[in-house]
Structure 1
C-alpha cells in the first residue's frame, strides 16, 4: 500500500519536480532529439507526456506506452489538448503488443532506468522497429566519477520507491543490443541531484539487411 501511495504521489508531482530541469535546458534537449522522429513512432514509458509538444509533423502515427496507471491518467489529460491523435496503451516494454517491424521510430527518455531488464527491453524495442528504424534515447546513466557512482549504487531515497536505477550503464546496454549506435553525446541533466545528472542523448538503428 505504501508503494502504491508513493507511485500516486510521484505521478502527481512529476511535472513540478521536473520543472526546474525542463526550464534550465532539458526541454530544448527533448525538442532537438525528437525533431528526428518520423513515420510511425512509439514512445516507451511516456510518463505524464513531457515529450508530447516536441513531436514533429513528420510523425504520422504516435503510440504512447505507459504502464503506470497514475502516470497514464495524466498522460491522457495532456494528450487531449493536442491537435494530433495519439494511441495510449497500458503495456510492458518486455512484451509490446505489436507485430515485428511495426515502427519507424522508437523513443525512450528517462525510462530505461526503471525497466526490470534493459537487455530484454532493448531487444523488444528492436523487434518492433522496421529494418533501418531508429531509436532516439535520452537517459541518465552511471557516472564516471567513482564517488558519484558509489552513491548511485547505494540507490538513496527516493529512487527505490520510484523504481529508478540511476547507476545503469545504459549506453553499453544499447551497444550490446541488436541496435547499432549511430550518435551519442554525453552531458548533465540540469538542476537535479548528482546521482541522476550524468546523461546521454543520441540515436541507434535497427540494422537493415545487406544485399
Structure 2
C-alpha cells in the first residue's frame, strides 16, 4: 500500500480539530451518527474525534486512517471510546472490507481530500450492505455562483491543496454521492464555523444517503 504521510499537516490538524469541535463541530459530529447501529466503517478517521459520539447500538467501528501520525493518535483515542473501535491502515479507494460487510459508513472532512472521489464513493458502496447508510459531514463547493466560488477556484489552483494535504474546496460532493449510486435522504447546507471570517472551506453539508435495497454490489 502506498504511504500517505503528511507529518506537518497531521500535527496542525490535531490542534485544528479541537478548535473546530469547540466552534460547533462536536455537535455536528454527534448529530451525524445519531441512530446508527451495527458495524460501521469510518473512512479518514484522522485523530479519532468522531469516536466519542457513536451511540451504544454500534457494535464495532472499523476506523480507516492512512496517515501514520494521525493513525497513532486515533489508536490512543480508541482506548477510551464508548464503543469498540478498531483502527486500521487503508485507503479510501481500496477499503479493508468484504462486499456488503458494513451496516453504515461515516465520512467526515475526507471526501475533499481523497485523490479520486468517485473511486472512494464506489468503494463505500461496495462494502455497505443493501439498505446501508453513508453519513457525511463535508465542506463543499459554494451552492451559488459568485464571490465564494471564485475564492474556491483560486484556492484550489494555488496553495490550498499544498497546505492541507491535497484538500479541494470546490468539490460538489452531494452530486458525487448521487452519481455513485446512493440515494440522498437528508441534506443540510450551512456555513461552518457559523461566525467569524469566511474561508474557502466555509460551505458545508451534513446528511445521509442510502445504498438501494436491490443493489447487488
TM-score over 0.5 for the pair: yes
More deviation, 90-99/107-116: 90-99
What residue in structure 1 maps to residue 17 of structure 2? 18
Give the Cα–Cα distance (whole angstroms) in 1 for the partners of residues 166 and 192 of structure 2.
19
Give the Cα–Cα distance (whole angstroms) in 2 for the partners of residues 83 and 25 of structure 1.
21
Give the Cα–Cα distance (whole angstroms) in 1 for the partners of residues 201 and 73 of structure 2.
24
Conserved? CA contact 2:41–2:61, under 8 Å: yes
**Structure 1 unaligned spans of 5+:** none
Aligned positions of 1:123-142 closer than 5 A: 123-142=122-141
Matched residue count: 206
The verdict on how the C-alpha distance between 1:152 and 1:99 changes in structure 2, with shifts beyond 3 A counting, is same
More deviation, 129-138/146-155: 146-155
More deviation, 21-30/126-135: 21-30
Structure 1 residue matching 2:200: 3-state secondary structure: helix
Question: Offset at 1:36?
Answer: 2.7
Q: Does 1:153 align with 2:153?
A: yes
The structure 2 residue matched to 1:172, chosen from 175, 196, 214, is: 175
Q: Deviations over 1:67-120 (max 9, x none)?
A: 111111111111122353321111111111211100001000100001111111
What residue in structure 1 maps to residue 189 of structure 2? 186
The verdict on how the C-alpha distance between 1:145 and 1:194 changes in structure 2, with shifts beyond 3 A counting, is farther
Conserved? CA contact 1:44–1:66, under 8 Å: yes
Give the Cα–Cα distance (whole angstroms) in 1 for the partners of residues 70 and 127 of structure 2.
23
Higher helix share: 1
Aligned positions of 1:1-211 closer than 5 A: 7-143=6-142, 144-154=144-154, 155=156, 156-161=158-163, 162-190=165-193, 193-209=198-214
More deviation, 80-89/192-201: 80-89
Give the Cα–Cα distance (whole angstroms) in 1 for the partners of residues 24 and 102 of structure 2.
29
What is the alpha-carbon root mean square deviation over aligned residues? Answer: 1.8
Give the Cα–Cα distance (whole angstroms) in 2 for the partners of residues 123 and 180 of structure 1.
13
Structure 2 residue matching 1:92: 3-state secondary structure: coil
More deviation, 169-178/155-164: 155-164
The verdict on how the C-alpha distance between 1:113 and 1:12 changes in structure 2, with shifts beyond 3 A counting, is same
Give the TM-score normalised by structure 2. Answer: 0.89
Question: Offset at 1:160?
Answer: 2.3
**Structure 2 unaligned spans of 5+:** none
Give the Cα–Cα distance (whole angstroms) in 2 for the partners of residues 125 and 175 of structure 1.
13
Question: Offset at 1:159?
Answer: 3.1
